[in-house]
């Protein structure tokens, strides 16, 4: 029986040739697989090789469309070979991820490739590339924050930690996390000065009458002028000791009265209390808490409380925690101001401590117990809220 003659189009012939050229198969293997004659396949192979070398092909000439397809396939094969070579050559250099990100950035800025193409070609993730971009921009954005952070740290007496510094920056419109503030403080070597030091100044060895502990550590007060605390501390100067008596309103932690003198008579604590009463005009029944010092147990002081209708209260013997808020104020005062100075005389110390109380502690220093507001700011905020409540009710 005569075998039927088969005919093949140009696309099929080209596919057979590509199996030999691109897949590395022999002519015999291709012929066996496709059941073709070796003579025909070798003729097709020679025709394609001749056309690739710019010579006229053997057999029937290709149409213009076939020639265009052939040329594009040839260019595509060459580009794949070039890309493979570039990949292997780039890998031999062992570039890190940062270098790959720089290459992609350069090529995308020149619009030579897209980000997706660059990441796929160099084997990096797009999310990693975007994160690297943010890290590059972040130090630039933090330059101004670093300057402002140092300025605020110096302006607050080098005593603020990361929490209070973050609140200061937030008040200026700089939103930054506390951990970032802490990292920047470490980078800028900004360390708050802490120097714990306690000296016993209470003279409770006396036979004078004392008050009961009416306050009983109720340090959180819902209204102003409901409970005050008072105490005495010492200030070292080159001209001798200077003693400071202070009265503090537990509601806002504000210093409402203070007095200084080179000794500790009962008159010192009485003066501080009289200033507080004149400034705040408290209602009768206000609790004034102190330790059991002889000045607070004196006749003059007790008479002053009675005259203004105030309720005396004293810590239990030997228990400084009953007046912890006042002790904390003195510690802050000394860490943030006194221990950093060397006062030549009482006048210089009096001026500086007054400045600390008026211009820093009451008006600017942020308190964690007040939602990181200063005492004056806290009282103003609470007063505004009360006015709003009254107006809504009316």
CATH no. for residue 365? 3.30.420.10
Question: Do 233 and 302 belong to one domain?
Answer: yes
**pLDDT at position 92:** 47
Using pLDDT thresholds of 50, 70 and 90, give the confidence band for residue 109.
Answer: confident
pLDDT over 90 percentage in the chain: 40
Q: Between these two residues, 393 and 211, which has the higher pLDDT value?
A: 211
pLDDT at 259: 98
Which position has the higher pLDDT, 206 or 274? 274
Cα-based torsion angle of the residue sequence 300, 305, 307, 310 in order, rounded to the nearest 10 degrees: 180
Across the beta sheet with 254-261, the strand order is 254-261, 242-249, 227-235, 287-290, 311-314
Do residue 180 and residue 232 come from a single domain?
A: no
Whether residue 296 is predicted with pLDDT greater than 70 in this model: the reply is yes
pLDDT at residue number 135: 66
Whether pLDDT at 101 is above 90: no
Least confident range of 1-5, 24-28, 293-297:
1-5
Cβ pair 353, 338 in contact under 8 A: yes
Asked if 135 and 70 sit in the same domain, the reply is no
pLDDT level of residue 311 (50, 70, 90 thresholds): very high
SS3 state of residue 248: strand
Inside any domain, residue 117: no
Domain tally, the chain: 3
* Structure confidence at residue 180 (pLDDT): 83
User: What does the alpha-carbon distance between residue 205 and residue 233 come to, in Å, rounded to a whole number?
Assistant: 17
pLDDT at 275: 97
φ and ψ at 82, to 5 degrees? Answer: -65, -45
pLDDT exceeds cutoff 50 at 91? yes
Q: What is the pLDDT of residue 61?
A: 59
Q: Report whether 169 contacts 148 (CB < 8 A).
A: yes
Query: 79 with 145, same domain?
Result: no
Are residue 303 and residue 384 in the same domain, yes or no?
yes
Give the tokens for residue 321.
Answer: 């925690």
Average of pLDDT values for 273-292? 96
- Mean pLDDT, residues 80-85 taken together: 60
| pLDDT at 120 > cutoff 50 | yes
Is residue 224 within 8 A of residue 280, CB to CB? The reply is yes
Whether 313 shows a pLDDT value over 70: the answer reads yes
Residues 186-233: pLDDT tens digits? 888 888 876 555 445 555 555 678 999 999 999 999 999 999 999 999
Coil, strand, or helix at residue 131? helix
End-to-end CA distance of the chain: 115
Residue located via tokens 């937030």:
170
- Kindly tell me the burial class for residue 77, based on how many C-beta atoms sit within 10 Å of its own C-beta (0-12, 13-18, 19 or more): middle
CB burial of 47-68 (b: ≥16 within 10 Å; e: otherwise) equals bbeebeeeeebeeeebeeeeee
- Residue 210 belongs to a domain: no
Residue keyed to tokens 């080098």: 158
The reported pLDDT for the residue numbered 85 is 47
> How many Cα atoms occupy the beta-carbon half-sphere of 205 within 13 Å?
2
Q: Is the dihedral of CA 68, 69, 70, 75 positive or negative?
A: positive
In this structure, how many other beta carbons lie within 10 angstroms of the beta carbon of residue 299? Answer: 10
Domain membership of residue 299 (yes or no) is yes
Amino acid 241: pLDDT: 95
| 78 shares its domain with 28 | yes
Q: What is the pLDDT of residue 299?
A: 95
Q: Strands 242-249 and 311-314, how do they pair?
A: unpaired
> Could you tell me if residue 32 is inside a domain?
yes
Burial class (CB in 10 A: 0-12, 13-18, 19+), 369: middle
Please check the confidence at residue 54 and state whether its pLDDT lies above 70: no
Task: Say if residue 259 is in the same domain as residue 353.
Answer: yes
Whether residues 231 and 361 share a domain: the answer is yes
Q: Residue 361: its pLDDT value, please?
A: 96
Q: Give the least confident one: 11-25, 354-368, 379-393.
A: 11-25
Kindly state whether residue 348 falls inside one of the protein's structural domains: yes
Residue 19 in domain: yes
98 burial class (0-12, 13-18, 19+ CB within 10 angstroms)?
exposed
Distance CA 252, CA 329 (A): 13
pLDDT in tens, 127-164: 888 887 766 555 555 667 788 888 888 877 777 888 88
Closest to 376 in 3D by CA, of 388, 384, 364: 364
Query: How sure is the predictor about 55, in pLDDT bands with cuts at 50, 70 and 90?
Result: low
Looking at residue 140, what is its pLDDT? 53
Helix (H, G, I), strand (E, B) or coil at 19: helix
Give the predicted TM-score (pTM) of the model: 0.59
**Inside any domain, residue 369:** yes
Segment 320-366, tens digit of pLDDT? 889 999 999 999 999 889 998 999 999 999 999 999 999 999 999 99
Element containing residue 44 per DSSP (H, E): helix 38-52
Do 243 and 382 lie in a common domain? yes
CA dihedral 337, 339, 345, 347 (to 10 degrees): 20
pLDDT, position 206: 55
Q: Find the range with the poorest average confidence among 60-64, 166-170, 347-351.
A: 60-64
Residues 232 and 295 placed together within one structural domain of the fold: yes
SS3 307: helix
**CA 256 from centre of chain:** 35
- Out of 76, 94, 112, a domain closes at 94
Nearest CA to 232 out of 351, 157, 333 is that of: 333
Residue 236 shares a structural domain with residue 374 = yes
Q: Are 55 and 62 in contact (CB under 8 A)?
A: no
Is the pLDDT higher at 20 or at 94? 20
Distance in angstroms (rounded) separating the CA atoms of residues 250 and 329: 11
Q: Mean pLDDT lowest for which of 48-62, 167-181, 327-341?
A: 48-62
- Residue 289: pLDDT band (50, 70, 90) is very high
Domain that holds residue 156: 128-188
d(CA 47, CA 61): 10
- Dist CA 258 CA 248 (whole Å): 9
* Domain edge (last residue) among 94, 116, 151: 94
Please tell me the predicted confidence (pLDDT) of residue 157: 74
| 279 and 184 both lie in a single domain | no
Structure tokens at 35: 């059941």
Sequence-ordered alpha helix ranges (H) in 96-125 = 97-109, 115-122
For residue 33, tell me if it sits in a domain: yes
Mean pLDDT of the chain: 83
């Amino acid at each position: 029986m005569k075998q039927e003659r088969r005919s093949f189009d140009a696309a099929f012939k080209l596919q057979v040739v590509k199996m030999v050229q691109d897949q590395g198969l022999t002519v015999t293997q291709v012929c066996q697989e496709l059941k073709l004659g070796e003579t025909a396949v070798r003729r097709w192979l020679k025709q394609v090789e001749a056309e690739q070398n710019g010579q006229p092909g053997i057999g029937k000439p290709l149409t213009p469309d076939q020639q265009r397809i052939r040329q594009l396939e040839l260019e595509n094969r060459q580009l794949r070979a070039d890309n493979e070579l570039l990949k292997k050559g780039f890998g031999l250099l062992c570039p890190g991820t940062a270098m790959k990100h720089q290459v992609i950035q350069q090529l995308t800025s020149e619009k030579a490739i897209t980000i997706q193409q660059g990441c796929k070609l160099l084997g990096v993730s797009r999310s990693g590339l975007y994160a690297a971009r943010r890290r590059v921009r972040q130090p630039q954005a933090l330059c101004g924050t670093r300057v402002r952070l140092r300025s605020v740290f110096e302006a607050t007496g080098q005593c603020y930690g990361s929490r209070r510094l973050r609140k200061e920056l937030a008040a200026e419109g700089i939103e930054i996390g506390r951990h970032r503030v802490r990292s920047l403080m470490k980078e800028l070597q900004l360390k708050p000065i802490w120097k714990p030091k306690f000296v016993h100044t209470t003279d409770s060895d006396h036979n004078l009458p004392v008050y009961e502990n009416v306050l009983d550590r109720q340090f959180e007060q819902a209204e102003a002028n409901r409970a005050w605390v008072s105490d005495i501390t010492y200030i070292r100067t080159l001209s001798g000791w200077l003693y400071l008596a202070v009265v503090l309103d537990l509601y806002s932690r504000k210093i409402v009265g203070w007095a200084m003198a080179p000794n500790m008579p009962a008159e010192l604590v009485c003066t501080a209390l009289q200033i507080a009463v004149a400034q705040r005009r408290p209602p009768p029944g206000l609790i004034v808490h102190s330790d059991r010092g002889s000045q607070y147990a004196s006749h003059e002081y007790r008479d002053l409380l009675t005259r203004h209708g105030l309720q005396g209260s004293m810590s239990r013997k030997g228990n400084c925690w009953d007046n912890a808020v006042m002790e904390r104020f003195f510690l802050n005062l000394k860490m943030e101001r006194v221990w950093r100075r060397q006062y030549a005389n009482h006048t210089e110390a009096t001026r500086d401590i007054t400045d600390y109380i008026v211009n820093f502690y009451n008006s600017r220093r942020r308190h964690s117990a007040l939602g990181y507001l200063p005492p004056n700011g806290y009282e103003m905020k609470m007063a505004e809220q009360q006015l709003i409540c009254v107006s809504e009710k009316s």
